[in-house]
Amino acid sequence: MASTVPVVTDIAYQDLLDDPYPIFRRLRELAPAVYVEPAKLTLVTRFDDITRIERDPATYSADNPASLVNKVMGPTFMRKDGAEHAIGRKAIEPSFRPATIKEHWAPQFTAIAEQLIDNLSVADSADLFSTLAAPMASLSLMAMIGFREMPWQTLAEWSQALIDGAGNYAADAEIERKAMQASADVDAAIDAVLEDHRSHPNPSILSSMVNADPPMPIDGIRANIKVIIGGGLNEPRDAILTLVLGLLENPAQKADVLARPELWPAALEEAVRWISPIGMYPRRVTRDVELSGTVLPEGLQIGLCVGAANRDGNRFAAPDRFDVTRPKQSHLAFGAGPHFCAGTWVSRLTVGKIVVPMLFDRLRNLRLHEETPPVVRGWVFRGPVSLPVRWDA
């Protein structure tokens, strides 16, 4: 007999931010979908259920007028289905073609990484969040979007404000204010360069959008650039840090990867499974439906917790352990179905083939700082917010 969605009220929102995995385990064991009062959202946490949902966009729609993403960023193609979603993806596709990535973006990303690691190598310790991962992700994305040069911190601050706003399920007024200010600042940055990209086509995302056939309308350009700034900055930033953290906490695995460079791609996939940078995204139920024995009513807002699904013990053995030697299995860190992350290949190149291998190659005996432990935070978006390390100068 089908059951209704259970409600959980005894979870502290701060616990979700600090360490959501015990909560996710409890929710997975309780029901396929659980309304979590502090998050004000019904969360789906099991791997098979999320996979099933992503294969049925007609029932579980990304087109969600009540989404916080729409409120903060506008009508993005990530919150559309079918033809509207396909048109939005097609407009940015030229910037993400394999040949464009290999020939145009890879040399630029390599040069950025070399400069940042050159700056690091004169010292013997640093916090990799602020000295490597955040500037690497910001400078790379700035180039890909086609913005004028600005301090890397500016784009990073916009990204953080936008993703905080998109994940502001606790309805914090100051978080909303910062998000809306960042939204206005991004609009101004787009306006400053759009005519240049229209007049001089190039591989940048803004050029692809404005020179698409038909050109993307300005409200679509603005909204989609904000989504790209959100996910396109925090995801590679956090993947860089998570991969470094996983290897430094597991010296035998680190030694294995450094001795066998062909393991770098598998190491990246394991890192984003272990701590998924984009941990949750919303969907809207379009009709009364039964999910694994639980009735979801039409109009229900649900959150697909891929950060929980990627640690589902029914899918992954010893799911809380970072394990580069894990048998190859698909995960959900880059999404699934029609909404599979457009920047996946850029992230795999930047993180798994350029930045992290170069870091370990250039900084001898890289290790965690003995006196200052790393800090990992978040659940809608999750990753190290501080990763102090040392090496032999």
CA distance from start to end of the chain: 65
Beta carbons of 91 and 216 less than 8 angstroms apart: yes
Per residue in 123-180, pLDDT (tens digit) is: 999 999 999 999 999 999 999 999 999 999 999 999 989 988 887 777 889 999 999 9
Q: Above pLDDT 90, what percent of the chain?
A: 76
Does residue 232 surpass a pLDDT of 90? no
pLDDT, mean of residues 378-393: 95
Does residue 33 surpass a pLDDT of 60? yes
Domain boundaries, the chain: 7-390
pLDDT, mean of residues 235-241: 95
Residue ranges in the chain assigned as alpha helix (H): 13-18, 21-30, 47-54, 68-73, 82-92, 98-100, 106-121, 128, 134-145, 152-166, 173-199, 205-210, 218-248, 251-259, 264-274, 306-309, 344-349, 356-362
83 exposure class (CB count in 10 Å sphere: 0-12, 13-18, 19+): exposed
Beta carbons of 389 and 369 less than 8 angstroms apart: yes
Pairing of strands 41-44, 301-304: parallel
Average per-residue pLDDT for the chain: 91
Does residue 189 surpass a pLDDT of 90? yes
* Claim: this prediction has a pTM higher than 0.75: yes
Find the largest Cα–Cα distance for the chain.
66
Please count the other Cβ atoms lying within 10 Å of the Cβ belonging to residue 185: 15
Ramachandran angles phi, psi of 382, nearest 5°: -135, 140
Between CA 198 and CA 211 the distance in angstroms is 6
Q: Which pLDDT score, from 0 to 100, does residue 337 have?
A: 63
Distances 249 to 89, 255, 302 between C-alpha atoms, Å? 38, 12, 34
Among 122-131, 222-231, 294-303, 314-323, which is the least confidently predicted range? 222-231
Query: By C-alpha distance, which of 342, 363, 361 is closest to 353?
Result: 361
Does residue 96 surpass a pLDDT of 90? no
Query: By C-alpha distance, which of 216, 235, 212 is closest to 76?
Result: 216
Q: Which pLDDT score, from 0 to 100, does residue 342 have?
A: 64
DSSP 61-72: ES--TT-HHHHH
Residue 245, token pair as written in the block: 């953290």
Q: Within a 13 Å sphere around the CA of 49, how many CA atoms are in the beta-carbon half? A: 26
- CA–chain centroid gap for 224, Å, is 15
Between CA 392 and CA 221 the distance in angstroms is 46
Q: Which amino acid is at 338?
A: P
State the fold for domain 7-390: Cytochrome p450 (1.10.630)
Q: Which pLDDT score, from 0 to 100, does residue 2 have?
A: 75
Does residue 105 surpass a pLDDT of 70? yes
Q: Which pLDDT score, from 0 to 100, does residue 215 have?
A: 85
pLDDT, mean of residues 252-261: 97
Per residue in 289-307, pLDDT (tens digit) is: 999 999 999 999 999 999 9
Per residue in 59-95, pLDDT (tens digit) is: 999 876 666 676 677 665 554 455 554 566 677 888 8
- CA–chain centroid gap for 33, Å, is 23
Residue 360, token pair as written in the block: 């370990």
Q: Above pLDDT 70, what percent of the chain?
A: 92
